[in-house]
Chains A and B, each alone.
Chain A
Amino acid sequence: MKIYVPLDSAAKALGADAVANAIVEQAAARGLDVQVIRNGSRGMVWLEPLVEVGDDRQAFGPVSVADVPALLDGKLKGHGKVADIAFFAKQTRLTFARCGVIDPLDMDDYQAHGGLVGLRRAVGMTGTEIVTEVTESGLRGRGGAGFPTGIKWNTVAGAQASQKYIVCNADEGDSGTFADRMIMEGDPFTLIEGMVIAGIAVGATKGYVYLRSEYPDAIKIMRQAVEIARNSGVIGGSVLGSNRAFDMEIRVGAGAYVCGEETSLLNSLEGKRGVVRAKPPLPALEGFLGKPTVVNNVISLATIPVIMEKGAQNYQNFGLGRSRGTIPIQIAGNVAHGGLFEAAFGMPLGELIDDIAGGTATGRPVKAVQVGGPLGAYFPRAKFDTPFGYEDFDGQGGLIGHAGIVVFDDSTDMLGMARFAMEFCAVESCGKCTPCRIGAVRGVETIDRIGRGDAAAVEILTDLCETMRDGSLCALGGFTPFPVMSALTHFPDDFATNKEAAE
C-alpha cells in the first residue's frame, strides 16, 4: 500500500516529517507492506499534513503522530478522494497538474504524468516556432509585471551574441506568495523543462535559478533535481539526444527583497550589490554579464511545458480579456482554508475569499485583503467584485503581482499596516534612488505624525507617495505607495481614530 506524506515546507512546518517517520515505524512494527512516498503539497494548507492513502488517493488531514495508529487501522475519518475535495475540485490545474501527485524527484513518475512531452516537441521545432507558440498562448509574466513572455523571448532570440542566458527569478519575497516554492518543492522538473525549452527557443545554452536563501528545502530539492535531470540527459551537452545543449545551476540569494527586481537580481547573480540598474538597456539585450538574457519568474517558466504539451490554443482558451490561461492564486494570512488555488483568470476576488477560502481563520469579518505582496493595494469589501485579472486590478488601483492574497480580519489597524509598508521599504531599499531610500524613512515618520493626531501630515504623506511613485527607479519605491495610499483612502477611520485618541 502506498501512503503519501508531503515533503513541502508548509507540510513540514506543520509536522509532516514526524508523521512520515511514525507511519514507517508503526507499519514496520505491524508487518504491513507500506511504501511511504514524499510528494509535494496539493496546496490545501489547512489540511496539512495531508496524508493520502492508496492509488485512489484517499485524503486524511491534518494528520498528527497520534492519528497514525488509526490511519493504519483504517479507522481514521478522512475527506474522501483528494480530487473530490471542493477546494481542489473547483480548480483548473495546468501549471500545478503534477504538484502533490508525483514524487518530485522521480523522473519516471514525472514522465508518466506528461513530463517531457513539451520538451520532446520543442526539440523538433525551430526557435522561432517555439517563440510563436508561447506568444500565441497569451502567457504573461507571472512575477507581477505581466509582460508578455513570448515578446520578451522574441527580443532575446533576435539579439546576436556569443552567449545568451535564461535566468529564473525564484526570489519569491512577496508576503502571501508561495507558488514558486510549492512548484520547486513539488514538481521541480517542470521548471527545469521550462528553462530548457526557453533556452532552445532563444538560443541560450546556460541557465541560472536565483533562489532565495529563505527557502532551504526548495534549494535542496532543486539541486537534486538538476543533478537527476543532468544524469537523465534532460540537460547537458545533448538535450534528450538532440543537437541542442543546455545546462543550468542553482544560485542562492542572500536575503535581499529587492533582488526580486530583475536588474538587481542580475547584479546579485554577477556577485555585486543588488542595486537596481536603470533601463534601458533591457536585460533582454544586455542582461547577465552584459549578454542577452531572458529573466522569467518560476511560474512563467514552469507553465511553458504544459503550453508546449497541449498547445497554445488550449492555454489561450482559459482566462479573461488580456489575462489568458490560469493563475495559481495563493490565499494566505488570516484565512480559514488557505492555500494554492489554480484557476482561469476572471474569478471575482470576493468569491475567492468568502466561498473558496471560507473567510477568516479567526471567524471575524474580513476587513481588508492585500493582493500582490507588500507592494500591492489593500482592498476593502467594496471592491470584492473585482475579477482576478491584470487589467481589472489595475483599473481598481491595485495589482495582482505574483497573485498572493493576504486576508486581514476586523481587528487589523490599517494605519499600522501602512506604516509597516514604509518601514519594509526602508529596510529593503537598495539605496540607489532617493525617493525610495529617503522617502521610505520619511514615510514612517509622517505616518507616525498622523498617528499622533497631526492632520496636516496627511497631505504631506500623499505628496510623498506621489514623489515615490513617479520618481523611483523600480517597483519597490514606486509601488510602496499602493498599500499606503489604499489604506489611507479606503480605511480613513483607522487614521481618524488615532487622531481623536490623541486629542
Chain B
Amino acid sequence: MSASQATIETLARILAAHDGLEGPLLPILHAVQAELGFIPEDVQPIIAAHLNISKAEVHGVVTFYHDFRAAPAGRHVVKICRAEACQAMGANGLADATLAKLGVAWHGTTANGAVTIEPVYCLGLCACGPAAMVDDRVVGRVDTAKMDELLAEAGA
C-alpha cells in the first residue's frame, strides 16, 4: 500500500519544516502523529528516504516508544496513572472500575469511538493522586465519580 497524494503532501511539508535539526526523527514522528492521529505504515518509507536511513530503523523507532500509534485512537484519550504514588491512593481500583464500566482493556477504545483508555506511568501529580489526563488536560484526586464525569464529557 502506498501513501495517498494528500499524505505525501503533508509529509513533504512536515519534513521540510524539520530540515536542519540535529536528530530530527522524534520531532518528525510527533508532528506526523499530531496531524494524522497515528503513524501510518506507508509514511515510514518516505521518512526513511528523506533521512537516508533504513525503513527498519524508522519502524524500530516507531514501535519502541509507547506514544506512537500504529492505528488512530478514539476521539479522546484518557490516561490513568498506574505508578506507585497513585497506587497508594487507590489507582488500581479506579483503573479496574473504569475498564470494567467501559468494557475495554488497556489501550482499548469504546465501541462508539469516543474514548481510548491508556495506562501512564507518572504524570508528576504524585501528591494529588490518583491522577489522570484527558487529552492534554490533567486531573487530580480522581475517584470513580470524577472519572464518570470525565468520561461523560468525553462522550464515552
Contacts and interface: CB of A to CB of B under 8 A. Distances in A.
A255 B26 contact: no
Nearest to A185: B124
A330 B126 contact: yes
A274 B65 contact: yes
B128 A330 contact: no
The dominant DSSP class at the B interface is loop
Contacts of B133: 214
A63 B27 CA distance: 39
Interface residues of A, number: 64
A175 B87 CA distance: 10
Given A254-B68, A271-B26, A333-B129, A175 B86 contact: yes
Contacts of B24: 271
B101 interface: no
Interface stretch (A148-156, A233-241, A334-342, A454-462): A334-342
Contacts of A271: 23-26, 51, 61
A408 B88 contact: yes
Contacts of B129: 332-333
A176 B85 contact: yes
B127 A10 contact: yes
A139 to B, nearest CB: 23
A214 B124 contact: yes
A45 B65 contact: no
Contacts of B29: 254
B124 A333 contact: no
Given A217-B138, A333-B88, A428-B121, A274 B126 contact: no
Interface residues of B, number: 42
Most chain B CB within 10 A, of A172, A175, A176, is at A175
A400 to B, nearest CB: 16
A176 B87 contact: no
Contacts of A268: 26
B68 A177 contact: no
B125 interface: yes
10 closest A-B pairs by beta carbon, nearest first, are: A338-B127, A271-B25, A175-B83, A13-B140, A332-B126, A254-B65, A255-B66, A333-B88, A45-B127, A178-B124
Given A180-B124, A289-B23, 20 more contacts: A10-B124, A12-B138, A13-B141, A45-B128, A176-B83, A216-B136, A254-B65, A255-B67, A257-B121, A271-B26, A272-B61, A273-B60, A274-B64, A274-B65, A333-B84, A338-B126, A370-B84, A417-B84, A420-B84, A424-B83
Interface of B: 22-27, 29-30, 51, 57, 60-61, 64-68, 83-89, 120-129, 131, 133, 136-141
Interface of A: 9-10, 12-14, 45-46, 48, 172-178, 180-182, 206, 213-217, 251-257, 268-275, 288-289, 330-335, 338-339, 361, 370, 374, 404, 406-409, 412, 417, 420, 424, 427-428, 430
